[in-house]
């Protein structure tokens, strides 16, 4: 197979078009967030930051961002702790139930949020629990856990256990070994996983729709705004979210690159 | 201590160490399992129970065993029509994602140099990280009355008035589904293809196989697992999606997921909603099992 | 018989994995300051035994005693035993100094003491000034030296080695073998060394323990194992042997006549009593044979005529394959000797004292 191709291959063109298809919608949203007029889209009359100002001065958006932040932070903390422990338990010694446990922990990733949402809602109604940010967090926990467990187990499977044996040989107990040898070495993966979890929770809407109480999270505010009215500030908040995602993904990438050394 | 006693002690240390290890492992995995059980399994069980109970007006329940929820769900012709459309649309979206994903995955895996490949995959991951709602909402700017497509068509003189059927239709939902799930498909297919050593393909070329033959005889069977995985994942998540139809589908395109969601929120009939979702889950499970069989297919 | 308790004693140790014995009824006494090698093919149990001494595994039966105390009963962090592993197990997130200091820091040693001892350890492994280096910048040989320093710095009573040089290049391996022996002399601690490379074991050890299928075939110093192998397997595993199958023709005082094909050769009496007609193996080491173009040989030597079939230069010796009738012999000669060519008629001679007579192997031999 030669690498000198006189023209660009059809496959290359196709792939570029595919990428355009993936990114075009987002590009337009960003474009229109700077639109001077009040239409959602065309005509485009000039650049303006008015929609960004609208977002920052709106109490609805501000409160929902705070609410989303609270839910995401608690979700991250719980999932990192619980997920790391589970990942270690699953990879350390094979035990009879490990395949089943692993399956149980991973399968919610392929379950549509609808089912988790209605199951939780029904459960809360039955047990007379008031819907609040806590009920939202419960849904996020179960949705996000499989992704983190996957990250942790995949890192631990590449981990050289001889390093732990060497530490034990030098006199370190199990907890000291974990703290001084294992943890520092898997930390980049854990942080990358935490960022992924944060991003998933931040964006979650399928389950949250059912478990939300009096306070709204940001995705729900966006959802109801889009459904009900023609409010171009949605373009602005969307662009801000996009910017945030980019920051996240670049941080994750830095950590993954560190990993590969 | 006699030698025998010490030897016995050492033997029991072995047993004790093994037992302790098992307890430690159980302890490590327990909290995560607790979360899944508490936040998913128990509510799921409750949901199944609810599906066999009767509803009494908005939000109420009568503790009386009945199959009426299931019978209504299965017999109602509206539900059946909607179900066909939902699953059909989901299957179509999944098929398009897999078929459209293959050429791109092939190009990325076998035709790009190492660095470009990482960049391409990174771009795909970026598109995954962007907010789902934003990606949905973006189609308003493209397909809407004032959107890109219509504005372009009017400027070009193809039509005089904006085409209003583009948005709020089944096709808008389909395009949005493909836009959201194509990245997953590309990633899964790429990952499956990366397990094929390039020498295999060159070997086939040497032996005289045309590109099409190489694809159908080698690439396809070896990536079947990835393709089936991508299809199943996309099918299940799109068929269970109620937000995209709600935002982009308009009144003509309700999905089964919308019906469930409405039963719960608008109508307060949790029991009926529960029954319908149990039926949906059964269908998903069946599809998943049959598709797993397909993974062992050896190619055309 | 009451004897002084040995420094490190393995007593009837047995270890089972899924019902299969990796180590079976293993007994060995090791003296303080000895360099003992466990030598054998893969799967013979040598690594399992080493790990039991190190406390990584517990014997299912038997005991392991260090200065009279049972090792398995000691809590892990109190065992005065340290191991150098086969792969590089330096902690990649710590530099050389921190790696070596790891064990000392756990014992809350003072900073000054740590600095002093790490410096001494680095000097001992011939890596002075490497303290601030990152692990990723070390070569394979340097990394294993740091691993050794990391083990030594804790002043363990017994140092264990699990084939630490097997992943290194030949030249580096040879260098390190010599250095390890020097370090052993300086430290005067007990070394237990696992290897499958007989040359390595012969170079460094005070005593060699040849193992197979979880049991000891022979224990002795290198010369003893070389000159008087206890079984055919040991003889084949150590050195470059030629093995001829034959039968006992006659038994006299001090020597045995062995008939091989149509010839009869005298050989020294082996440790096992033999009778006429018993099948035996005649072991002739390539290094003990001489090659000559003269067709007559001194009367006290054994001789056999043949032609050169193959000549190979094996780096440090010239290796000749000689065809004698329907048998073959491999003979080693120093490179300085005259090179003989294929087809040349030669006489192979050896002194009867240099030949070894052994009963043929059953599949399992116990001492």
pLDDT tens digits along B46-75: 999 888 888 776 767 777 788 888 888 888
Average pLDDT rounded to a whole number, residues B199-210: 82
Q: Which two tokens stand for residue C240?
A: 């470059």
Q: Is the pLDDT of residue A79 over 60?
A: yes
A234/B137 touch (CB, cutoff 8 Å), yes or no:
yes
What per-residue confidence (pLDDT) applies to C367?
35
| DSSP-derived pairing of the beta strands C158-162 and C81-84 | parallel
Helix (H, G, I), strand (E, B) or coil at A47: strand
Domain residue limits, chain C? 8-232, 240-358
Among C18, C71, C84, C92, the strongest candidate for a mutation testing the A interface, having the largest count of A CBs within 10 A, is C92
What per-residue confidence (pLDDT) applies to B69?
82
Burial class from Cβ neighbours inside 10 Å (0-12, 13-18, 19+) for residue C83 reads buried
Average pLDDT over chain C reads: 87
Give the CB-side neighbour count of residue C82, counting CA atoms within 13 A.
Answer: 21
Average pLDDT over chain B reads: 84
Q: Quickly tell me which residue has 């003992």 as its tokens.
A: C36
Measured CA to CA, the distance from residue B288 to residue A143 in angstroms comes to 20
Average pLDDT over chain A reads: 85
**Which of B79-93, B212-226, C260-274 reaches the highest mean pLDDT?**
B79-93
What per-residue confidence (pLDDT) applies to B3?
65
Residue A3 lies in a domain: no
User: Residues 30 to 59 of C: which have CB under 8 A from any B CB?
Assistant: 58-59
C103/A160 touch (CB, cutoff 8 Å), yes or no:
no
CA distance C194 to chain A (A): 17
Measured CA to CA, the distance from residue C215 to residue C195 in angstroms comes to 16
Where residue B125 falls among pLDDT bands split at 50, 70, 90? confident
**Percent of chain A scored above 90 by pLDDT?**
40
Instruction: Tell whether omega for the bond before A102 is within 30 degrees of 0, i.e. cis.
Output: no
| Residues in chain B within 8 Å Cβ distance of C70 | 6, 10
Residue A179 lies in a domain: yes
Q: Label each residue of chain C as H, E or C.
A: CCCCCCCEEEEEEEEEECCEEEEEEEEEEECCCCEEEEECCCCCCHHHHHHHHHCCCCCCEEEEEECCEECCCCCHHHCCEEEECCCCCCCCCCEHHHHHHHHHHHCCCCHHHHHHHHHHHHHHCCCCCCCCCEHHHCCHHHHHHHHHHHHHCCCCCEEEEECCCCCCCHHHHHHHHHHHHHHHHHHCCEEEEEECCHHHHHHHCCEEEEEECCEEEEEECHHHHHHCCCCHHHHHHCCCEEEEEEEEEEEECCEEEEEECCEEEEEECCCCCCCCCCEEEEEEEHHHCEEECCCCCCCCCEEEEEEEEEEEECCCCEEEEEEECCEEEEEEECCCCCCCCCCCEEEEEECHHHCEEECCCCCCCCC
Average pLDDT rounded to a whole number, residues C175-190: 92
Where residue A230 falls among pLDDT bands split at 50, 70, 90? low
Q: Is the pLDDT of residue A1 over 70?
A: no
Tell me which residue of B184, B187, B147, B186 sits closest to B164, measured CA to CA: B147
In CATH terms, C240-358 corresponds, of 3.10.129.10, 2.40.50.100, 3.30.479.30, 3.30.70.3270, to 2.40.50.100
B138/A26 touch (CB, cutoff 8 Å), yes or no:
yes
CA distances from C206 to A51, C158, C201 (A): 84, 15, 9
| Residues in chain C within 8 Å Cβ distance of A188 | none
Contact C205, C37 (CB under 8 A): yes
Where residue A6 falls among pLDDT bands split at 50, 70, 90? low
Residue A203 lies in a domain: yes
Q: Is the pLDDT of residue C1 over 50?
A: no
Average pLDDT rounded to a whole number, residues A154-182: 90
CA distance B59 to chain A (A): 9
Is A179 at the interface with chain C, CB within 8 A? Answer: no
Average pLDDT rounded to a whole number, residues B177-189: 94
CA-derived radius of gyration, chain C: 24
Measured CA to CA, the distance from residue C14 to residue C62 in angstroms comes to 6
CA distance C94 to chain A (A): 9
Q: Which helix (H) or strand (E) holds A76?
A: helix A59-92
Q: Is the pLDDT of residue C4 over 70?
A: no
| Residues in chain A within 8 Å Cβ distance of C91 | 163, 166-167, 181, 185
C63/B6 touch (CB, cutoff 8 Å), yes or no:
yes
Is C133 at the interface with chain B, CB within 8 A? Answer: no
CA distance C73 to chain B (A): 7
Measured CA to CA, the distance from residue C47 to residue C203 in angstroms comes to 20
Average pLDDT rounded to a whole number, residues A64-82: 94
Where residue A25 falls among pLDDT bands split at 50, 70, 90? confident
Domains contained in chain A, number = 1
B13/C58 touch (CB, cutoff 8 Å), yes or no:
yes
Q: Which chain C residue shows the shortest CA-CA distance from B8? A: C61
What per-residue confidence (pLDDT) applies to C221?
92
What per-residue confidence (pLDDT) applies to B56?
74
| Residues in chain A within 8 Å Cβ distance of C92 | 185
What per-residue confidence (pLDDT) applies to C364?
39
Q: Is the pLDDT of residue C361 over 80?
A: no
What per-residue confidence (pLDDT) applies to A5?
54
What per-residue confidence (pLDDT) applies to C244?
87
A184/C83 touch (CB, cutoff 8 Å), yes or no:
no
Contact A67, A216 (CB under 8 A): yes
Give A35's DSSP letter: B
A149/B182 touch (CB, cutoff 8 Å), yes or no:
no
Measured CA to CA, the distance from residue B285 to residue B276 in angstroms comes to 14
What per-residue confidence (pLDDT) applies to C365?
37
Q: Quickly tell me which residue has 């960003």 as its tokens.
A: A30
pLDDT tens readout for residues A91-111: 887 777 778 888 888 888 889
Domain, as residue range, for A134: 58-259
Q: Which two tokens stand for residue C260?
A: 């091989």
Q: Is the pLDDT of residue C5 over 70?
A: no
What per-residue confidence (pLDDT) applies to A139?
94
Measured CA to CA, the distance from residue C207 to residue A113 in angstroms comes to 68
Tell me which residue of C53, C48, C150 sits closest to C99, measured CA to CA: C150
Contact A132, A213 (CB under 8 A): yes
- List of residues 6+ apart from B293 with CB closer than 8 A: none
What per-residue confidence (pLDDT) applies to B300?
41
Contact B254, B248 (CB under 8 A): no
Q: Quickly tell me which residue has 């990174």 as its tokens.
A: B122
Measured CA to CA, the distance from residue B275 to residue B261 in angstroms comes to 12
Q: Which chain A residue shows the shortest CA-CA distance from C152? A: A170
User: Residues 48 to 87 of C: which have CB under 8 A from any A CB?
Assistant: 54, 56, 76-77, 82-83, 85, 87
Name the phi and psi angles at C273, rounded to 5: -70, 140
Where residue B295 falls among pLDDT bands split at 50, 70, 90? low
B10/C70 touch (CB, cutoff 8 Å), yes or no:
yes
Average pLDDT rounded to a whole number, residues C318-323: 90
| Residues in chain C within 8 Å Cβ distance of B8 | none
What per-residue confidence (pLDDT) applies to A259?
55
Q: How many Cβ atoms from other residues are within 10 Å of residue C60's Cβ?
A: 19
Burial class from Cβ neighbours inside 10 Å (0-12, 13-18, 19+) for residue C249 reads middle
Contacting chains of B (3 CB pairs or more, <8 Å) are A, C
What per-residue confidence (pLDDT) applies to C366?
36
- List of residues 6+ apart from C334 with CB closer than 8 A: C317, C318
Residue A145 lies in a domain: yes
CA distances from B211 to A11, B74, B109, B206, C112 (A): 13, 47, 15, 11, 70
What per-residue confidence (pLDDT) applies to B140?
81
Q: Which chain A residue shows the shortest CA-CA distance from C160? A: A169
Lowest mean per-residue pLDDT among A211-225, B152-166, C45-59: B152-166
Average pLDDT rounded to a whole number, residues A218-246: 83
B28/A85 touch (CB, cutoff 8 Å), yes or no:
yes
Looking up residue A198, the CATH number of its domain turns out to be 1.10.3720.10
Residue A43 lies in a domain: no
Average pLDDT rounded to a whole number, residues A148-172: 91
Q: Against a cut of 0.95, is the pTM above it?
A: no
Measured CA to CA, the distance from residue B120 to residue C8 in angstroms comes to 61
Instruction: Count interface pairs B-C at CB distance under 8 A.
Output: 24
**Which of A109-118, A250-259, C228-237 reaches the highest mean pLDDT?**
A109-118
Tell me which residue of B243, B284, B277 sits closest to B263, measured CA to CA: B277
Q: Is the pLDDT of residue A112 over 80?
A: yes
What per-residue confidence (pLDDT) applies to A42?
58
The strand order across the sheet containing C290-292 reads C290-292, C345-350, C302-313, C318-324, C327-333
Average pLDDT rounded to a whole number, residues B179-197: 91
pLDDT tens readout for residues B236-262: 999 999 999 988 887 766 888 988 888
Of B36, B129, B239, the CB nearest to A245: B129
Q: Which chain A residue shows the shortest CA-CA distance from B259? A: A114
Q: Which chain A residue shows the shortest CA-CA distance from C85? A: A166
Is the pLDDT higher at A245 or at C23? C23
Tell me which residue of B87, B25, B23 sits closest to B256, measured CA to CA: B87
Average pLDDT rounded to a whole number, residues A65-88: 94
Where residue C35 falls among pLDDT bands split at 50, 70, 90? very high
CATH number attached to the domain at C8-232: 3.40.50.300
Residue A244 lies in a domain: yes
Measured CA to CA, the distance from residue A187 to residue A259 in angstroms comes to 9
Is A214 at the interface with chain C, CB within 8 A? Answer: no
């Amino acid at each position: 197979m030669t690498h000198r191709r006189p023209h660009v291959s059809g496959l290359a063109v196709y792939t570029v078009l595919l990428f355009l298809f993936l990114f075009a919608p987002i590009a337009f949203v960003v474009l229109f967030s700077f639109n001077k007029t009040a239409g959602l889209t065309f005509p485009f009359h000039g650049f303006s930051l008015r929609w960004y100002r609208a977002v920052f001065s709106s109490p609805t958006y501000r409160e929902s961002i705070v609410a989303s932040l609270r839910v995401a932070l608690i979700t991250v903390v719980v999932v990192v702790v619980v997920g790391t422990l589970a990942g270690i338990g699953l990879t350390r010694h094979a035990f009879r139930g490990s395949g089943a446990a692993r399956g149980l922990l991973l399968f919610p990733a392929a379950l549509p949020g609808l089912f988790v949402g209605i199951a939780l809602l029904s459960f809360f109604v039955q047990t007379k629990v008031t819907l609040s940010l806590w009920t939202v967090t419960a849904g996020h926990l179960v949705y996000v856990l499989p992704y983190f467990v996957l990250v942790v187990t995949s890192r631990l499977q590449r981990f050289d256990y001889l390093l732990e044996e060497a530490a034990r040989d030098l006199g370190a107990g199990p907890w000291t070994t974990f703290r001084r040898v294992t943890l520092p070495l898997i930390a980049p993966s854990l942080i990358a996983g935490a960022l992924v979890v944060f991003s998933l929770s931040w964006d979650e809407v399928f389950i949250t729709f059912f478990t939300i109480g009096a306070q709204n999270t940001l995705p729900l505010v966006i959802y109801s705004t889009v459904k009900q009215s023609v409010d171009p500030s949605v373009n602005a908040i969307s662009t801000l979210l996009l910017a945030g995602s980019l920051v996240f993904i670049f941080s994750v990438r830095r950590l993954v690159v560190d990993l590969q050394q | 201590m006699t030698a025998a006693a010490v030897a016995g002690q050492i033997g029991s240390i072995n047993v004790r160490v093994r037992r302790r290890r098992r307890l430690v492992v159980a302890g490590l995995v327990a909290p995560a399992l607790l979360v899944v059980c508490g936040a998913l399994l128990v509510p799921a069980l409750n949901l199944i129970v609810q599906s066999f109970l009767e509803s009494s007006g908005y939000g109420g329940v009568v503790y009386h065993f009945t199959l009426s929820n299931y019978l209504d769900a299965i017999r109602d012709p509206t539900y059946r029509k909607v179900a066909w459309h939902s699953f059909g649309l989901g299957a179509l979206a999944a098929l398009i994602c897999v078929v459209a994903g293959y050429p791109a995955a092939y190009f990325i895996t076998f035709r790009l140099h190492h660095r470009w490949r990482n960049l391409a995959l990174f771009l795909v991951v970026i598109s995954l990280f962007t907010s789902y709602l934003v990606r949905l909402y973006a189609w308003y700017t493209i397909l809407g009355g004032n959107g890109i497509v219509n504005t372009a068509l009017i400027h070009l003189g193809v039509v005089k008035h904006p085409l209003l059927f583009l948005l709020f239709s089944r096709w808008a939902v389909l395009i949005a589904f493909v836009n959201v799930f194509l990245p997953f498909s590309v990633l899964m297919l790429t990952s499956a293809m990366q397990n094929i050593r390039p020498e295999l393909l060159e070997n086939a070329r040497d032996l005289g196989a045309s590109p099409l033959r190489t694809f159908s005889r080698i690439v396809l069977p070896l990536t079947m697992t990835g393709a089936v995985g991508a299809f199943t994942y996309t099918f299940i998540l799109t068929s269970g999606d109620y937000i995209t139809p709600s935002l982009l589908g308009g009144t003509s395109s309700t999905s089964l997921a919308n019906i469930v969601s409405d039963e719960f929120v608008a109508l307060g009939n949790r029991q009926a909603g529960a029954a319908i979702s149990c039926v949906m889950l059964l269908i998903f499970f069946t599809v998943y099992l049959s598709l797993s069989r397909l993974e062992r297919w050896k190619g055309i | 018989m009451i004897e002084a308790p040995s420094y490190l004693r393995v007593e009837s140790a047995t270890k089972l994995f899924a019902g299969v014995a990796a180590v079976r009824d293993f007994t060995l006494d090791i003296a303080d300051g000895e360099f003992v090698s466990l030598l054998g093919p893969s799967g013979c149990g040598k690594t399992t035994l080493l790990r039991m001494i190190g406390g990584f595994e517990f014997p299912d039966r038997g005991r392991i005693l260090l200065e009279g105390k049972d090792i398995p009963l000691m809590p892990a962090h109190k065992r005065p035993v340290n191991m150098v592993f086969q792969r590089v197990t330096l902690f990649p997130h710590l530099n050389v100094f921190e790696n070596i200091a790891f064990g000392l820091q756990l014992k809350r040693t003072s900073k000054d003491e740590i600095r002093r001892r790490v410096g001494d350890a680095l000097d001992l492994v011939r890596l002075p000034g490497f303290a601030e280096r990152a692990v990723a910048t070390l070569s394979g040989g340097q990394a294993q030296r740091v691993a050794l320093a990391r083990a030594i710095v804790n002043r363990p009573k017994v140092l264990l080695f699990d084939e630490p040089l097997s992943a290194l290049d030949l030249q580096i391996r040879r260098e390190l073998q010599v250095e390890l022996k020097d370090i052993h002399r300086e430290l005067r601690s007990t070394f237990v060394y696992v290897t499958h490379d007989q040359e390595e074991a012969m170079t460094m050890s005070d005593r060699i323990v040849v193992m197979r299928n979880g049991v000891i075939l022979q224990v002795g110093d290198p010369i003893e194992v070389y000159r008087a192998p206890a079984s055919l397997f040991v003889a084949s595993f150590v050195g470059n042997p030629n093995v001829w199958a034959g039968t006992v023709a006659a038994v006299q005082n001090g020597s045995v006549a062995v008939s091989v094909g149509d010839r009869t050769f005298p050989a020294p009496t082996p440790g096992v009593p033999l009778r006429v007609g018993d099948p035996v193996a005649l072991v002739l080491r390539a290094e003990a044979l001489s090659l000559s173009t003269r067709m007559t040989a001194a009367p006290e030597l054994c001789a056999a005529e043949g032609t050169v079939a193959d000549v190979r230069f094996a780096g440090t010796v010239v290796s000749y394959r000689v065809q004698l009738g329907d048998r073959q012999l491999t003979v080693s000669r120093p490179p300085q000797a005259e090179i003989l060519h294929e087809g040349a008629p030669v006489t192979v001679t050896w002194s009867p004292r240099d030949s070894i007579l052994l009963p043929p192997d059953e599949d399992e031999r116990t001492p």
